[in-house]
Structure 1
Amino acid sequence: MESSPQTELRAAIVAELDRVVTSPVFGGSARQIRLLRFLVGEVLAGRGAELRAPLLATRIFDRPEGFDSTEDSIVRVEMSKLRRALERCYAANRATAVRIELPRGRYAPVFATGPAAPDPAQPSVSRRPSLDSPPSDRPGPPSPRGPRFPASADGPVIAILPFASITAVSASLNADGSESERPVPGSTGTRSRAIAHGLTDRLGDLFVRAPRVRVLSRAATLEEAEARGARYVVEGSVRLIPGALRVAVKLHDTTRGIQVWSKTFDRSDVDNRLFAVEDEIARDITTLLVALPLGAVHAIEAEERCVHPPRSAYEVLLRFPRWLATFDGRLQAELADHCARFLERDPDDGVLLAYSSFLHVLSSWTAAGRDHDRCRSADHARRAVALEPKLANPHQVLAFVLLDAGDGPGAQAAAKVALKLGGPLMFTGFLLALSGDWERGTAILRKHRSLTKRYPGTVHHALALDACRRGDYAAALIEAEAITTPNLAWSALDRAVVLARLGRVADARAAGRDLAAILPEVARDPRAVVRRVTADQALVDDLVEALALAGLG
Structure 2
Amino acid sequence: MDATVQKWTVAEQNQIRASVEVMLSSPLFAGSPRQQRFLDYLVTNMLAGDAGRLKGYTIAVEVFDRTSDFDPSLDAIVRVEATRLRNKLREYYDTLGKLDAVHIGFPKGSYALEISLQNSPVIERRMANIAINSPPANSPRMVEDRPSLAVLPFANIGVDDSKEYFSDGVVDSLISMFSRLSGLFVISRQSSFSYKNTAKTSKEIAIELGVRYLLEGSVQYAGKQVRVAAQLVDAQNGGHIWSDRFDRELKDIFALQDELTQSIVSVLQIKLDGAEAALFGVQATKSIEAHDYLLQAIATHRKYTEKSTYEAIALYNKALVSDANYVAAHAWLARSLALLWSQKWSHDFAILDLALLHAERAVALESQSPYAISILGWVHLWRKNREESIAECRRALVIDPNNAEALLFLSIVLSFAGLGEEALYYIEKSKRLTPTSSPFHEMAEGDSYYVLNNYPKAIAAYELGCVMNPSFIPCQFFAILAYEQLGMEDEVRKKFEILYKMTGNAKNQPAITPWTDESLAKQQEEIWRRITSRYSI
Question: What is the TM-score normalised by the length of structure 1?
Answer: 0.46
Q: Which has the higher contact order (CA 8 A, sep 6+)?
A: 2
Q: Which has the larger radius of gyration?
A: 1
TM-score (norm 2): 0.47
